[in-house]
Chain A
Amino acid sequence: MLLVALAAVSLFIGASSEVTVSGVASGDDEALFLLAASRIPRTVALLLVGAALGIAGLIMQMLVRNKFVEPSTTGVTEFATLGMMTALVLWPGMAILPRMAFVSLFALAGTWVFLRIIRFVPVRTLVLVPLVGIMLGGVVGAVTTFFAYRLDLLQALGQWMQGSFSSVMRGRYEFLWIAAVMMILAWIAADRFSVIGLGEEFATNLGLNYRRVVAVGMIVIAVITACVLVTAGVLPFLGLVVPNIVSLMIGDNVRRAIPWVAGLGAGFVVACDLVARVVRFPYEMPLSVVVGIVGAGLFLWLLLRRRGRVH
C-alpha cells in the first residue's frame, strides 16, 4: 500500500504541472519557471507537511500513551497564534519570512514553557502531560482571543490559521525543511520512543534517560508543528486520525509505523490539494476545508471497513 501511495503521489506531481501548462516538455521558459518556483515547491511542501504532521502525532501518542492526543496538545498552536497576533499588531508591514521566523520563536518559547511545566508532573501520572498542554493552550488562547477581540483581529487571525497552500512557493516554504530534519531525527530515535511508550521503569532499565527522551520528543513535535503552522496553517486529522488508523492496521511498533504514517499523511494531503484546486477551477478552496470534508469520508471508510473482522 505504501508503494501505491508513493506512486499516486508522483502521479499527482505530474498532474499538478498540467494545471497550467502542459508544454513543460517543450521547454517553455515560463512553464519551467512556474514549475520550479511554484509547482514543485508546493508539491514538496505538501508531502512534507502531510508526513511531518502524521509523524508528530504518532510520537505524541506514543510518548503520552494516549491515542487521543495530537501535536497541538502541547499548546504550541496557541503560542504561535499569539506570536502572529503580536506580529500583526506591532509590525503590520513585516515581510513573510521574518514574520514566519518571529512566529516560530513564539512557538519555541511556548515549547520551552511547556517542557518546564511538565517537569513537575510526576511520571506516574502520565495523563497529566496532555492535560497540561491543553490547559496551557487554553490560557494562552484566551489571552490571544481577548486581545484579538478588542483589536478586531479575530477574522485576520482566523484566516491565517486556516490551512492553505495557495501562497506556498519558493521562498516561503523553506521552514518545512527543518520539519524534514525533525522527521529524520524521529526516525532515528524511533526505537527510543517505543521504549518510552512502555513505561519509565522499563525505559530506565534499558538505560534511557526517561525525561530527556520525552523532552526531545516534545521538541521534535513542537518544531514540526511550528514549521507547518507557519507555512500552511492548521490542518485537521493528520496529527490524530492518521496515526490511529495506521495503528489499527499494523499495530504500535513505531519504527514500522513511521513510513506508513508518513506515506498516508503525505498522499492524503497531496490528493486533497488537488481536489482543492480542481473543484472550483480556477478558484482555490482552502485546503483545511477540503481535508476536513474529503478526509472525513476517507477515514470513516478506513475506520469502518474493519468492522467485520475481529480486533
Chain B
Amino acid sequence: MSTEVLTIRPRLWRRPQVRIIALAAVVALLAAVYLFTGVPGSLLFAAKVRGLTIAAMAVVAVAVGASTVVFHTITQNRILTPSIMGFDAFYGLITTVMVFAFGATGFLSADSMLLWILQVGVMVAFSVVLFTWLFAGKRRSIHLMLLVGIVLGTFFRSFTEWMQRMLDPLDFQVVTDAMFASLTRPDPTLLAFTATLVVAACAVLVPLLPQLDVLTLGEPAAVGLGIDHRRLVMTLFLVVSIMVAASTALVGPILFFGLIVANLAYSYSGSFRHRWTLPTAVLLGLVCLLGGQLVIERLLGWNGTLSTVIEFAGGAFFLYLVLRKGAR
C-alpha cells in the first residue's frame, strides 16, 4: 500500500496540469495572506485597497511573464528579456525628457491618463518602427534587430544620464522615483486600461500558441512546416511590445523579474509547450510579486524596493536549483 502511494504521487506530479494547479494554490494562499493579515483597521477597507494592488500584480505578472516567454521563443535565446530592445531605457528617456521640459511640478501634476497614453503610445510606436525597419525588409534578421535594440537602449540610457546631470536635485528625485517600480496604490482607471490592453494582447496570443510551439524548432524547421514566419514574428512582437509598454507605463520598469520567472517556468512546468509554460510563468510572476510585497511590508517594514527583494530571492532560488541538481 505504501509503495503504491509513492509511485502514484510522482507520476501524477509529472503532469503539467497538476503542477499548475499546485502553483495556483500557492498563489491563492499568498493572496489571502496579503489581503487578510496584518490589517490595522477595517478589514473591508484594507481588502479593497490591497485588492487593487493584487489586480495590478496580476496584470503585471501576465504582461511580464507572457512577454518574456514569447520573446525567448522568438529569439531562441533564454537569457534575454524584452528590455534588451530598449524598453526600460526608452521609458527612462521619456520620463526624463518630460521632467526636463515641464519641470517636476509640471510632470507630477499632469493628467495621469494623458501621461499613460503618451508613454504607451510612444513606446509601442518606437518598437513598431524598429521592427518594421529591420525585419520587414528583405534582409530581415532577428539577430540584427536585437543588436540594434541593444545599441539604441544604451544610447537612450546614456542620453538620459546626460540629461539627468542637467536636472536640479528635486527634478532628479522625481525621475528616480518614477524609475523604481511600484505596485501599491495604482490608479484604478489606469489599471483598468492597462488590464484591457493586456487582455486584448492575450486574446491575440492564445490562438497562436500551437504556432509558438513550432517556432521552438527554429526558423528553418518552422518554415518547412508551413509557418508564415515573418507574419508570426511580427504579430508576436507587437503583442510583446503592447504588453510591456502598458505595464511599464502603469508601474514603472518592471521587466527585471521576467528572466527569473521564465527560466523557472521552463523547468517547473514539465513541458515545452507554451500552453503550460505561459501560465506557469504568469503564476510564478504572481508568486514573486505577492511574496516580494509581503516581505517588504511585513518583514522589512517597508524598507527596500520590490525589485531588490525579487532579484535577491529569485536569483538566490535559481542558483539554489542549479546547485542542487544541474537544473535544465
Contacts and interface: CB of A to CB of B under 8 A. Distances in A.
B151 A241 contact: yes
A296 B158 contact: yes
Interface in A269-311: 285-286, 288-293, 295-297, 299-300, 303-304, 307-311
Interface string B43-80: 00000000000000000000000000000000001111
Nearest to A141: B311
A268 interface: no
28 contacts: A66-B77, A68-B77, A68-B79, A125-B326, A125-B328, A127-B77, A128-B327, A131-B78, A131-B318, A135-B315, A139-B312, A142-B311, A162-B161, A236-B157, A237-B151, A237-B154, A240-B150, A241-B147, A241-B150, A285-B162, A289-B161, A292-B155, A292-B161, A295-B154, A295-B155, A307-B137, A310-B139, A311-B141
Interface string B118-155: 00000000000000000001010101101110111011
A130 interface: yes
A134 B259 contact: yes
B314 interface: yes
A303 B157 contact: no
Nearest to A121: B326
A23 interface: no
Given A130-B79, A135-B319, A307-B137, A68 B157 contact: no
A95 to B, nearest CB: 27
B151 A139 contact: no
B189 interface: no
Contacts of A134: 79, 259
A122 interface: yes
Contacts of B208: none
Contacts of B150: 68, 240-241
Interface string A21-54: 0000000000000000000000000000000000
B64 to A, nearest CB: 15
A68 B80 contact: yes
A149 B305 contact: yes
Interface of B: 77-80, 84, 137, 139, 141, 143-144, 146-148, 150-152, 154-155, 157-159, 161-162, 256, 259-260, 263, 303-305, 307-309, 311-312, 314-316, 318-319, 322-323, 326-328
Pairs A-B, 5 closest by C-beta atoms: A292-B158, A296-B155, A142-B312, A138-B315, A139-B315
A94 interface: no
A293 to B, nearest CB: 5
Given A66-B79, A236-B158, A241-B150, 13 more contacts: A121-B322, A132-B318, A138-B260, A139-B315, A142-B307, A142-B311, A149-B308, A289-B162, A292-B155, A296-B154, A299-B151, A300-B152, A307-B139
Contact of B318 (A69, A135, A289): A135
B161 A303 contact: no
Contacts of A69: 79
B154 A120 contact: no
A185 interface: no
Q: Is the interface of B mostly helix, strand, loop or mixed?
A: helix
Nearest to A293: B158
B325 to A, nearest CB: 8
Contacts of B147: 241, 244, 303
Q: Is the interface of A mostly helix, strand, loop or mixed?
A: helix
A120 B326 CA distance: 5
A226 interface: no
B311 to A, nearest CB: 4
Nearest to A290: B158
A214 B254 CA distance: 33
A127 B312 contact: no
B309 A117 contact: no
A146 interface: yes
A212 interface: no
A144 B154 CA distance: 23
A16 interface: no
A303 B151 contact: yes
B79 A304 contact: no
B324 to A, nearest CB: 8
Contacts of A291: 158
Contacts of A244: 147
B145 to A, nearest CB: 10
A310 B139 CA distance: 7
Contacts of B144: 303, 307
